[in-house]
Amino acid sequence: MLKHDAGPAVGPIASTSCGKVRGVARDGVEHYLGIPYAAAPVGHLRFARPAPAPAWDGVLDATELGPTAPQNPYAGAIARVLPTVIVSGDKFLNLNIVAPARQDQQLRPVMVWFHGGSLQHGSNSLAGYRGGSFARDGIVYVAVNYRLGAEGFSVLAGAPLNLGLADQLAALHWVQREITAFGGDPGRVTVFGQSAGGNTVAALLAHPNAELLFSRAIIQSGPLTADPADKAGRITKKIARDLKIPATREAFAAHTPAELLAAQERVTAGSTPLTGGPSYALALDDSLVPAGPAEALASGAGSGIPLLIGTTTDEARLWLVPSGLVMKLKSLHLAVARRKVGITAAAVKLFKRNRPYSVTGEILGALATDKLLRVPMNQLADARLSGPAPTYVYEFAWESPVGHLRAAHAVELGFVFDDLASPDSLGLAGSTAPQELAAQMHRAWVDFATSGSPGWEAWNALRPVKTFDGGTNPVVHAPRDDERAALTT
């Protein structure tokens, strides 16, 4: 049995199957931080599937943020707009819960957040993910830490694949068992995630047990992909070569997380999700990811679960603009890139014609945004038309004035969380971001989690897209459909 100090003398207490936890209450909202949902993945549990969290004596003090998964901060110019919080400790398979103060026995909708970060960055400790706005609006909000990088997504002989995804499934099982103690309804759970978190939500939606674990899903700017193990394991092999060890569980476990992170930093220097280079990916795996999410979902997996899905207008600008790369890319780079991913010359001409004042880097960014995210999203929405559950599509189009980011990847986060004053949002959206837009976007997410509808028409043959532009936020039918069609031929 684990023993914990009794913690503060006052504060709300919830009882879980492992023991009692004490949080803190402020302004009608209860906060429980760093609750373990699985055992610390160290020792014989390192590079293993998550094991149940051990019970504890007394009352667990859940008033301070728990440890974060081992990770490196973002490198280069992007670090200016994407923060990193690192809290040391082994018990980083933890979650935060922010809930309305319990005044009756009513159970409330639950939203479970899986952060992004290229499967190697991020945590539930980031200020922008505090989630108080969801609790304010009647939601029990849960933010999950999961294994990242080499610890969570290595492809090693002798170790299971997709350990970070297995952690997320363990967290969802925990929510089903325990969330009633915090006022949450296990029958009304919405999972949502952005970027890499959206990627894992797509994989969770395709999982055979999805309907037993959650009832709605939101994918924000998430790739719908998984790679064959050989391809997903390229970064693992590079780290192994860097450390002069075999790519086996035994060899990797003989090195500390810090040593693996140092090697990871060396082999990924200069790589980005847009320009390529070594990176982590979900690996095709008979037990967890038997097919790529796009293929599985298009074939009917998750078709009974309502889905809210969307992108930002200028996703790729996050990697192109802060680095200055947008002004360095030339026609040769565009020609090589479009051949690599199968974009026709005619499609390039169309994108150029529709953006007569854009430089080559901006054209490449627009093509990448659509090819990697918007077109697959449209194809998934089309495929789900034959299923029983609705799909709702959005586009975040408000243009941030910060460093010419415009509607770049991740700019929407402060709006979804209705927390424009958080330092995370200020770094991406600036101090003049419109509060009314945040209120409307956040309300759509809350309404979807509560009722299954975000407030606009579901996807149909007219291709309706709710466009959060900071003006009238219209529903636009088939936006830029000529470009979508050009990338699917």
Among all residues, which ones are annotated catalytic?
A: 195, 315, 409
- CA dist 88 to 43, 70, 85, 354, Å? 16, 8, 10, 49
- What residues have CB less than 8 Å from 97, skipping those under 6 apart? 23, 30, 31, 32, 35, 140, 141, 142, 179, 182
The sign one gets for the Cα dihedral 411, 417, 418, 420 is: negative
Give SS3 for 339: helix
Closest by CA to 368, choosing from 233, 487, 235, 190, is 487
- Taking residue 423's Cβ as centre, other Cβ atoms within 10 Å add up to 10
Q: Say how far apart CA 26 and CA 132 lie, in whole Å.
A: 10
CA angle 443, 447, 451 (to 5 degrees): 175
Secondary structure, 3-state, 191-220? EEEECHHHHHHHHHHCCCCHHHHCCEEEEE
CA max distance for the chain = 69
Of the candidates 117, 54, 58, the one whose C-alpha atom is nearest the C-alpha of residue 85 is: 117
- 435: which 2 tokens? 């509060």
- Alpha-carbon span 341 to 319, nearest angstrom: 18
Burial class of residue 9 (count of CB atoms within 10 Å of its CB; 0-12, 13-18, 19+) = exposed
- The pairing of beta strand 29-36 with beta strand 108-114: unpaired
Phi and psi dihedrals of 157, rounded to 5? -60, 130
DSSP string, 405-455: -BS-TTTTHHHHTT-TTSHHHHHHH-TT--HHHHHHHHHHHHHHHHHS--S
Torsion of CA 218, 372, 366, 361, to 10 degrees: 130
Closest CA to 83 of 142, 33, 128: 128
Determine phi and psi for 457, rounding to 5 degrees.
-65, 145
Q: What is the C-alpha separation between 235 and 264, in angstroms, rounded?
A: 8
Place of tokens 């659509």: 370
Task: Please give the Cα distance from 260 to 43 (Å, whole number).
Answer: 15
From residue 484, alpha-carbon distances to 179, 290, 297, 400 in Å are 42, 28, 20, 24
